[in-house]
Amino acid sequence: MVANILLTLLAACSAVVGVPTAQTGLDNATLAKVKANLAQIATHSWEIGTQLETLLELEWPKLSVFGGDIPPSTRLPSSDTAADVFAKTAEIVPNITDIPGPLINGDGAVGDPASLGVPVLLTNWTRTDRNNKFSVAASNQLNYLLNDAPRTEDGAISHRTDQVQLWADFVYMAPPFIAYYGALQGGSVGAELLQFAYTQCKLYRKYLRDDSGLWKHIVLGNWTDTTHWGTGNAWAAAGMLRVLETIRRSSEADNMLSERLELTSWINEILTHAWTFQQTNGTLLNYLDQPGSFPDSSSTALLGAVTYRMAALTGDLTHVSSADDAFSVIKASLTDDGWLLNTVDPLTFNTPSVPGSYSPEGQAFVLLLHSAWRDYTAAFPRI
């Protein structure tokens, strides 16, 4: 009853015209450059997975978890719809295989290959031939996560293959795939998978959140990183948002009202505490609450994207001005050639990208920020 009332109020808030953003988006030429640069440097599993999710949100929003039905129609509007996404999934899954395991080499990570899962599932759902290689590949990936990957005693799937170790990054990689698989599956099995995706978010929050309201980066295993890494908090917030939207658009939406409320609260918790540390020029620091840390445009962009999407979803515009300021600094951090500057090196976590080196995920986050801004302004147009 309480969950019903609160969600009704959220929906009512969304219908009220709020204060629109004063921000403007990126022009098409800039978007094209950023996208081309992303395609050029995305090589690791999580980078490619994030790239494909980004293309869906940017170019094919009706096929993304934020803009369309789940399940989507099995018939695409035209033969070139999402052709760039499907061409990439065809590279990832060239042949059918009965060997259980991840979709792609994860460089020792359990979760990262699963970031490719939603595009692969979408490819299978909309295919016009009888080749079931995408279905088998997605099933193999799911079975690996559910049955083979290391876990904590209470069921949190490890982010690493060689030990039980939890990374905030995992929440963007695996739970959204598990949830989407469940939404397409439907029935009791689908409901169980949606619940399982939510539970992974809950368990990860249990281990990684501390009294600051922010998430630590890495816990357990033979080494840890208990700092409040900006990109780690962004990954966690963005991943929970994808799970939330998948549940909300699924047939189980009404049966998972309390889970949706909790996810909404957990996402807002990260946003509220992260934006507290926003610098005067709009950027966030690599370690959010460490004044001596360096500015990081990657986490700034992704947390800005989550903020716009949450505002469009809930009608709560509390943090939109922070997202606007973040967007301004992202624009100022783009070169004329479409490269994002002032990023953390995603492979070290604690050093800036060296001159002439760029962050694949940072490039993706720019496009996710623009896409989220676009959809927010459609929900709250300027008058």
Residue 349 near residue 27, CB atoms below 8 Å:
no
pLDDT tier at 19, thresholds 50, 70, 90: low
Q: Find the helix or strand (DSSP H, E) in which 23 lies.
A: none
Residues 92, 95, 101: CA angle, nearest 5 degrees: 65
Rounded mean pLDDT of the chain? 94
Above pLDDT 90, what percent of the chain? 89
How is residue 123 written in tokens? 């490819």
Is residue 67 situated within a structural domain? Answer: yes
Q: What is the pLDDT of residue 17?
A: 39
Q: What is the pLDDT of residue 16?
A: 40
Is residue 211 situated within a structural domain? Answer: yes
Is residue 100 situated within a structural domain? Answer: yes
CATH number at residue 333: 1.50.10.10
Q: What are the DSSP E strand ranges found in the chain?
A: 166-167, 218-219, 284-285, 295-296
Residues 155, 203, 318: CA angle, nearest 5 degrees: 160
Three-class SS state of 296: strand
Is residue 293 situated within a structural domain? Answer: yes
Averaged pLDDT, 370-377: 97
C-alpha distances in Å from residue 316, one per residue of 13, 16, 163, 187, 196: 7, 10, 40, 33, 28
pLDDT tier at 84, thresholds 50, 70, 90: very high
Evaluate if residue 245 carries a pLDDT over 90.
yes
- Which candidate, 112, 230, 213, places its Cα nearest to that of 172? 112
Is residue 8 situated within a structural domain? Answer: no
- Which candidate, 330, 313, 234, places its Cα nearest to that of 26? 330
* pTM, two decimal places: 0.94
Residue 178 near residue 240, CB atoms below 8 Å:
no
Distance CA 237, CA 302 (A): 9
Is residue 50 situated within a structural domain? Answer: yes
pLDDT tier at 22, thresholds 50, 70, 90: confident
Evaluate if residue 1 carries a pLDDT over 60.
no
Is residue 17 situated within a structural domain? Answer: no
- Which candidate, 265, 250, 362, 376, places its Cα nearest to that of 312? 376
Q: Please, is 186 exposed, middle or buried when counting C-beta atoms within 10 Å of its C-beta (0-12, 13-18, 19+)?
A: middle
pLDDT tens sequence across 134-179? 999 999 999 999 999 999 999 999 999 999 999 999 999 999 999 9
Distance CA 229, CA 214 (A): 9
Distance CA 36, CA 45 (A): 18
Is residue 77 situated within a structural domain? Answer: yes
Three-class SS state of 334: strand
Above pLDDT 70, what percent of the chain? 94
| Domain encompassing residue 194 | 28-379
- Domain total of the chain: 1
